[in-house]
């Protein structure tokens, strides 16, 4: 039985500026159902405000408090500990961390895209070698954009972890804490929440490890055979329309 | 009993342009002893010719055939398989691969230093996703230069491995094949060869896994506590002078 529905964004609802067929109607149906609905993303190339604008521009209706981002989770984690990050992040979201004093050593790695250089990664490595905690948005391997697969933040987090011999704190998916922040906001137990995503590791495996139900969609970055790369029981469907139909209470 | 001595270069014999105290005399003693002597390095910021010039300029005597580099091993591996590499390597050694047709997909990652960018790593990732074999010089985490620790090729190999979900073929240390190429050239069994290095993973753990004896020196990139990071039996000494003394036959 499912009482809460968590939807990943990119690759599930849209691909860049294109709506995944059936996604608008699927979200509308979910909104009109008794399901608690949340949107959950590791995307770190856009601010929360820009994400909301993008979703609404495409025609998706949601309240700001229904959107959970790994960038918000990073801000909260740093804030709670009074840490000041060296930010290896995309220039688009740099402003989200302007209110932190950035002199002090914690390292935050998000999807910095062209901001990943030998110099910036080396600086992150040196801070970690000197004892700074390493914070990562998620272990995302790659994402799809304009029909191309592109390396995502996870690979660069792994690089710094390996070089410095440390383990990152993952604030977004697949971290269990992030999934629980979202389910806690619904009042629904994790076991009664369904996570829908196109990333078999970050979305599906992460959700299962956090005690949620999971559903893999064959859109976005999905590649044939992905369902075999993760153990555990989860649904595999063609798109978010089918995923929502699965989650809706039987009439 | 030790019949062959394998010496790592950077951090064991020299640090940049500075000779490690006692290293010249240690190599001289080894040359005059019955030990088979070899030099073995993953360094990939210099060509073999430049490395030989550097060593000789510092006063170390060696024959070209005593020097084994991971870059040579990469050339040989690609040559044997008729593969043409996309080279993510330092501009200094780019010329070592000019005689390969570079249109076809194999990926070689060495220490590219500033050559590591989002664009170049992403290209390597995309080729690997399309099925190109990934070749790495070694899993070196960092090296020391001008008193600073700097990220080495291993971290970037890990990044591409993780993003593409593949495992690299390691042509240099800690690959057992590389150690065996060197011991084979001496006619001495691996178990009677001693590897001396400052990298507890690449030099010590790699040598032990390949069936060699190993000795960690407390120079170069060595950091207090490194000896505890690897299991197995190996010697730990202050510098190469002491390592050579250990290897020399008792008078």
Residue B118 contacts A where some CB pair is shorter than 8 Å: yes
- B59-62, Cβ contacts within 8 angstroms, sequence gap of 24 or more: B59/B19, B59/B24, B60/B13, B60/B23, B60/B24, B60/B27, B61/B27, B61/B28, B61/B31, B62/B27, B62/B37
pLDDT at residue A53 is higher than 70: yes
Mean pLDDT of all residues belonging to chain A = 94
Each residue's pLDDT tens digit, A105-119:
899 999 999 999 999
Query: Quick one: closest CA in A to B121, which residue?
Result: A151
Provide the token pair at A105. 């050593």
B13 CA: distance to closest CA in chain A (Å): 23
Tell me what pLDDT residue B94 has. Answer: 85
Cα maximum dimension of chain B: 59
DSSP H helical ranges for chain A: 23-31, 48-58, 70-81, 118-129, 153-164, 176-186, 206-209, 240-247
Provide the token pair at B239. 């510098």
pTM of this structure? 0.90
- Nearest Cα neighbor of B192 from B165, B174, B214, B172 is B214
Each residue's pLDDT tens digit, A164-188:
999 999 999 999 999 999 999 999 9
Of B115, B118, B150, Cβ closest to residue A113: B118
B165 interaction partners in chain A (CB closer than 8 Å): 141, 229
Q: For chain B, which residues score pLDDT lower than 50?
A: none
Tell me what pLDDT residue B135 has. Answer: 96
pLDDT at residue A102 is higher than 90: no
Q: Which of B110, B113, B118, B131 is most worth mutating to test chain A (most A CB atoms within 10 A of its CB)?
A: B118
As beta bridge partners, residue A67 has A39
- Nearest Cα neighbor of A212 from A162, A175, A249, A244 is A175
Q: Which of B119, B151, B226 is most worth mutating to test chain A (most A CB atoms within 10 A of its CB)?
A: B151
Cβ contact, residue pair A114, B118, below 8 Å: yes
Q: Which 8-state DSSP code applies to residue B216? A: E
Cβ contact, residue pair B125, A152, below 8 Å: no
A141 interaction partners in chain B (CB closer than 8 Å): 162-165
DSSP code per residue over B121-137: HHHHHHHHHTT--EEES
- B75-83, Cβ contacts within 8 angstroms, sequence gap of 24 or more: B76/B171, B77/B135, B77/B169, B77/B171, B78/B106, B78/B108, B78/B135, B81/B106, B83/B133
Residue B121 contacts A where some CB pair is shorter than 8 Å: yes
Cβ contact, residue pair A155, B125, below 8 Å: yes
Instruction: Categorize the per-residue pLDDT at A103 as very low, low, confident or very high, splitting at 50, 70 and 90.
Output: low
pLDDT at residue A101 is higher than 80: no
Instruction: Provide mean pLDDT across the span A190-208.
Output: 98
Tell me what pLDDT residue B158 has. Answer: 98
Instruction: Provide mean pLDDT across the span A1-30.
Output: 96
Tell me what pLDDT residue A100 has. Answer: 77
Each residue's pLDDT tens digit, B49-97:
999 999 999 999 999 999 999 999 999 999 888 888 888 999 898 888 8
Cβ contact, residue pair B151, A163, below 8 Å: yes
Tell me what pLDDT residue B144 has. Answer: 86
Query: Quick one: closest CA in B to A141, which residue?
Result: B163
* ipTM of predicted complex: 0.88
Q: Which 8-state DSSP code applies to residue B54? A: H
Residue B158 contacts A where some CB pair is shorter than 8 Å: yes
A142 CA: distance to closest CA in chain B (Å): 6
Residue B91 contacts A where some CB pair is shorter than 8 Å: no
Instruction: Provide mean pLDDT across the span A218-234.
Output: 96
B141 interaction partners in chain A (CB closer than 8 Å): 162-165
Residue B148 contacts A where some CB pair is shorter than 8 Å: yes
A152 CA: distance to closest CA in chain B (Å): 8
Question: Is B153:B199 a contact under the CB 8 Å cutoff?
Answer: no
Q: Which residues, other chains included, contact A103 with Cβ-Cβ below 8 Å and sequence gap of 6+?
A: A84
Cβ contact, residue pair B149, A155, below 8 Å: no
């Amino acid at each position: 039985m499912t009482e809460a529905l968590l939807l990943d964004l990119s690759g599930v609802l849209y691909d860049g500026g294109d709506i995944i067929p059936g996604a608008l109607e699927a979200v509308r149906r979910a909104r009109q159902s008794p399901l608690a609905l949340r949107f959950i993303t590791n995307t770190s190339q856009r601010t929360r405000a820009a994400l909301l604008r993008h979703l609404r521009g495409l025609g998706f209706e949601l309240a700001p408090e229904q959107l959970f981002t790994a960038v918000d989770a990073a801000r909260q984690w740093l804030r709670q500990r009074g840490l000041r990050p060296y930010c290896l992040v995309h220039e688009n979201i740099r402003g989200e961390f302007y209110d932190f004093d950035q002199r002090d050593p914690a390292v935050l790695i998000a999807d910095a895209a062209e901001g990943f250089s030998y110099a910036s990664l080396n600086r992150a490595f040196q801070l970690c070698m000197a004892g700074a905690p390493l914070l990562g948005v998620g272990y995302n391997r790659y994402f799809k954009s304009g029909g191309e697969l592109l390396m995502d933040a996870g690979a660069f987090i792994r690089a710094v972890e390996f070089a410095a011999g440390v383990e990152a704190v993952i604030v977004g998916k697949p971290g269990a804490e992030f999934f629980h922040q979202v389910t806690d906001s619904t009042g629904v137990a994790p076991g009664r929440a369904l996570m829908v995503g196109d990333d078999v590791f970050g979305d599906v495996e992460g959700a299962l490890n956090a005690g949620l139900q999971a559903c893999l969609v064959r859109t976005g970055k999905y590649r044939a055979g992905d369902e075999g790369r993760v153990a555990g029981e989860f649904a595999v469907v063609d798109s978010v329309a089918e995923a929502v139909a699965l989650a809706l209470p039987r009439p």
